[in-house]
């Protein structure tokens, strides 16, 4: 039998997954209204200590993302509900064989007098990874949204260094249909680690986090955060609080990130999966 000498490689199987969740108000608190799961996207519901809150653990059963993968999360907190969303583990973005990015999309809507806390564990970036991530939120005028997002460039305990990457991260938040917050970060090229060493970027740290609280009372936390976390860059105005921090690695980052997130959650502990 004559074998083909073609050089085109077969396309590997890719993740195409979507998870959707909507919660509504009931007599006992916030309960599931609609739930949809496909592909590697799964959502589980542990029992939180505060029974008025719906806690959702988002799971990517593929164990990570690489070039060509697609993962979508669509989340809605209905009127007067409380929804806390976290991830079962750190998301991992692996090397892309052909520079095609993994695409991760998060779409959130929060109703009147409702609150949603977006608390995924860190995203670990590996050398040669390619990622396009978007986060879009639409809030009612009286709604509240807490966002905690962190990137870790390689596993420092393993001595990993990320030199090559193509990472694009975009956030938009609208309140009452008006854009109130937008942020965009990009790391691309073959000298990512050198860029992280720049004083104006991360001073050599390889773990970066951004925390944003969009809420009618967000400014009231500013003096508290500046007093208790003096090394964090933080500002607040017009119903928004923004904090940024860096650390040498994931564990050092967590030592600051966890208590900060708990302060902005009115003293409530983070979901237990953060301690696993």
Give the number of residues written for the chain: 276
Tally of domains within the chain: 1
Res 4: pLDDT: 46
Res 49: pLDDT: 83
- 256-275 burial, b at 16+ Cβ within 10 Å, e below that, comes to bbbebbebbbeebebbebbe
Residue 7 lies in a domain: no
Res 23: pLDDT: 98
Which conformational region is residue 275 in: left (phi greater than 0), alpha (psi within -120 to 50 degrees), or beta?
Answer: alpha
Res 2: pLDDT: 45
Residue 140 lies in a domain: yes
Residue 228 lies in a domain: yes
Residue 231 lies in a domain: yes
C-beta of residue 262 within 8 angstroms of C-beta of residue 269: yes
Residue 275 lies in a domain: no
Q: Which of 94, 184, 95 is nearest to 135 (CA)?
A: 184
- Say how far apart CA 250 and CA 173 lie, in whole Å: 27
Residue 9 lies in a domain: no
Q: Give the helix ranges, DSSP H, for 148-214.
A: 192-196
Res 10: pLDDT: 59
By the 10 Å C-beta count (0-12 exposed, 13-18 middle, 19+ buried), 176 is classed as exposed
- Say how far apart CA 143 and CA 129 lie, in whole Å: 35
Res 11: pLDDT: 66
Helix (H, G, I), strand (E, B) or coil at 275: helix
Domain of 33, in residue numbers:
19-266
* Token output for 165: 């990457």
Q: Which of 193, 147, 199 is nearest to 169 (CA)?
A: 147
Residue 117 lies in a domain: yes
Which residue reads 């940024």 in tokens?
A: 244
Helix (H, G, I), strand (E, B) or coil at 12: coil
Res 267: pLDDT: 87
- Say how far apart CA 78 and CA 140 lie, in whole Å: 10
Which conformational region is residue 36 in: left (phi greater than 0), alpha (psi within -120 to 50 degrees), or beta?
Answer: beta
Q: Mean pLDDT, consecutive 10-residue segments, the chain of 276 residues? A: 48 87 96 97 93 96 94 98 97 91 98 98 96 98 98 86 94 97 93 91 93 96 95 94 95 96 93 89
- Say how far apart CA 75 and CA 37 lie, in whole Å: 12
Number of helices followed by number of strands (H, E) in the chain: 3, 17
Number of CB atoms found within 10 A of residue 86's CB? 20
Residue 12 lies in a domain: no
Which residue reads 């008025």 in tokens?
A: 52
């Amino acid at each position: 039998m004559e074998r083909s000498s073609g050089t085109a490689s077969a396309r590997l199987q890719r993740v195409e997954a979507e998870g959707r969740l909507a919660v509504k108000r009931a007599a006992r608190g916030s309960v599931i209204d609609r739930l949809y799961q496909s592909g590697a996207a799964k959502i589980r519901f542990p029992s939180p200590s505060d029974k008025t809150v719906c806690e959702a653990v988002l799971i990517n059963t593929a164990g990570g993302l690489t070039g060509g993968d697609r993962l979508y999360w669509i989340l809605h907190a209905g009127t007067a509900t409380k929804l806390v969303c976290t991830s079962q583990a750190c998301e991992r973005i692996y090397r892309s064989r052909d520079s095609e990015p993994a695409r991760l999309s998060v779409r959130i809507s929060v109703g009147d007098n409702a609150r949603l806390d977006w608390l995924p564990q860190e995203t670990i970036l590996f050398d040669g990874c390619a990622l396009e991530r978007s986060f879009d939120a639409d809030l009612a005028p009286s709604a509240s949204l807490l966002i905690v997002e962190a990137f870790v460039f390689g596993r420092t305990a393993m001595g990993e260094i990320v030199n090559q990457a193509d990472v694009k991260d975009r956030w938009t938040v609208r309140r009452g249909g008006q854009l109130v917050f937008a942020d965009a970060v990009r790391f691309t090229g073959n000298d990512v680690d050198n860029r992280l060493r720049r004083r104006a970027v991360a001073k050599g740290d390889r773990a970066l986090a951004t925390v944003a609280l969009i809420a009618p009372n967000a400014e009231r936390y500013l003096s508290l955060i500046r007093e208790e976390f003096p090394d964090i860059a933080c500002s607040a105005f017009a119903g928004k609080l923004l904090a940024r921090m860096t650390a040498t690695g994931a564990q050092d980052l967590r030592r600051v990130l966890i208590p900060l997130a708990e302060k902005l959650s009115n003293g409530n502990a983070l979901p237990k999966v953060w301690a696993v």
